[in-house]
Copies of this chain bind each other. A is one copy, B any other.
């Protein structure tokens, strides 16, 4: 369970246990199961005993999901993106690009307003500082 190094117990490819995957990706075990259940992950490989084995690709995909999630994309949109990607169909690539570009613009806009709001906060700090200074 110690993190990082993949299990190679079954075959030539590297696999990660759910616990390792949670540690590597920052998602909780429950969230990993949840993401699989709702279709963000497709079917995850299983051992003979039915336990999940995450591949390097899965880890990479989880990284993308984490990025989208943390930049504020709703699960519903991530689901759309996942479905496009899962189809693997090259015809879906323009759609995937469009989706990511829209999100990129969203993130850009968010940073702009965030900067403005930060200025507002800093103004307020300065205002309070001046109050103290002028006492």
Q: A residues bordering B, Cβ < 8 Å?
A: 63-64, 67-68, 70-71, 90, 93-94, 96-97, 100-101, 103-104, 107-108, 110-111, 113-115, 117-118, 120-122, 124-125, 128-129, 131-132, 135
Select which of B70, B90, B117 is within 8 A of A135 by beta carbon: B90
A124 touches B94 (CB 8 A): no
User: What residues of chain B lie closer than 8 Å to A115, measured between beta carbons?
Assistant: 111
Contacts of A63 in B (CB 8 A): 120
Please state if A128 and B114 are interface contacts (CB–CB under 8 Å).
no
Min CB distance A107 to B, Å, is: 5
18 A-B residue pairs with CB within 8 Å = A63-B120, A67-B117, A67-B120, A68-B121, A70-B117, A71-B117, A71-B118, A90-B132, A93-B131, A97-B129, A100-B121, A100-B124, A100-B128, A104-B118, A104-B121, A107-B114, A111-B111, A114-B114
